[in-house]
Chain A
């Protein structure tokens, strides 16, 4: 697919580069000295107990959260306070949310077209074509004329993935994409994500779906109390975790 790593001016550098990242909510230190480099085409799964800062971390990558210290470079562009620059970064970064956040007043098709026509200034026909292409890919093209309120949770999340892909992002961020879903709908969303990973999309995924991590991740990152405790390929991570905290966490989520 052309949506995946298309040639760009910065095609050689890493996709995301984070150095010395620190963030506070008031007095609460949410992110502590995070250093992280995400290569192009790399698939990363971030896990950790709730409140460990994993969502906050990936939300810093498209400036949904502001950081106080450190450097974030996305696709060769350094994050600053400048609105134009932030918007430039956001156009290259797709995001999928825990609660889908589809626009309920727009049809599925319009959800996928609105940013193409208003941000990328594409003609409507071209936007619709792209939208249908991606809706086809997440197997929901037959629902294009419906409104989000008429779809199931799993269908809504697949639309949300298609909506993000329509902007042809260089990297996709997933913020607990299956946590708000009923168990029988988790698979349909994970299937779409696995397929996306196979196509070579750079992905950073906050999730507790360890099966997904084992199947597609190049690297699993474990966070606790705002720090990266451990990172390793899934094989090593699941079978030979180094730190005590990782072992405890794994035993809690895999133990039942």
Chain B
């Protein structure tokens, strides 16, 4: 047996690994790594082409892009004229044309603020952040609703389209995260009353479907308050959405809090920090970082579910596109409408997802101890 396990000649040297870089090297390493993988790559490409080609043809090549009326649609591919003709409505809803610059101004401010906060190099983050959380909402609300300083009043029932979707999503996101953090901390409190209130709140809002919440907010609430008191319908929906998602957020954050070793809080205690400092400086920064995927998951779900407000008669992005479908001049363009709506939602959600991955990488500080 011994001689069978012995080898007298050298094994032939293997080829050194391929070090070529660039597009060709990448192709070679990932797609054409030997005859079998090469064949599979070609097959998959063929399959993809066969499957996707009609879509590309419909959406891009045979599509109609120019024009302003139905006559511009040749009928072979998608007719994007349907979208471009009502693009303004899709963005602003029924917001009066003369006042749309106000929406533009808010959009511009929002974009600048987000960019400023998202790009690490830019200075004065604290002040810009403070303005984004305090100054901007007041300013944006004042601009959008109008009715003072000579601005025309635009009641919220005239808001709609992308602008309404973004309003709901941003108020929901900015409101539900801090509320969720407070609820999560409350649920871990040693004080029975605080804990009880938080548990009941979370379990109540998490146990009802969002549609029910919206119906209750728009139909039931007015039954219980005197008729003179009129709550704005949008405001009611916003509060409902914020409470609903804060319950989810609370559980996501609580998951992060559970994962922080007890020693972290003990070390902070031993350094003389009180409860709020321990939470704000030591526990929450670590816990929130851990659950960024869960938080962003919730944000994305929230963003997409803003379209549910159409059932209480608010015209968000999707609802306004749907409304366009029933326009007798433009019957039969449902596919274009829905594809466009899907694309818009996807762009926003995908951006959030990418940004969260970037933040996670940025906050990574070596291995946990």
Contacts and interface: CB of A to CB of B under 8 A. Distances in A.
Interface of A: 62-64, 83, 87, 90-91, 93-95, 97, 99-105, 114-115, 118-119, 146-150, 156, 160, 163-164, 167
A163 B271 CA distance: 9
B45 interface: no
A163 B268 CA distance: 11
B274 interface: yes
B272 interface: yes
Given A97-B263, A99-B263, A148 B271 contact: no
Q: Which of B267, B270, B365, B369 neighbours the largest number of chain A CB atoms within 10 Å of its CB?
A: B270
Contact of B272 (A97, A102, A115): A115
B286 A105 contact: yes
B289 interface: yes
Interface residues of B, number: 24
Interface string B84-120: 0000000000000000000000000000000000000
Interface in B319-369: 363, 365-369
28 contacts: A63-B269, A83-B274, A87-B272, A90-B269, A90-B271, A93-B270, A95-B270, A97-B263, A97-B267, A99-B369, A101-B263, A101-B266, A103-B268, A104-B365, A104-B369, A105-B286, A105-B289, A105-B365, A115-B272, A115-B273, A119-B271, A119-B273, A148-B365, A149-B367, A149-B368, A149-B369, A150-B366, A160-B267
Given A103-B267, A149-B365, A167-B271, 5 more contacts: A64-B266, A95-B270, A101-B264, A105-B289, A149-B368
Contacts, number: 82
A48 B38 CA distance: 68
A83 B273 CA distance: 11
Interface string B254-285: 00000001011011111111100100011001
A135 to B, nearest CB: 16
A148 B366 contact: yes
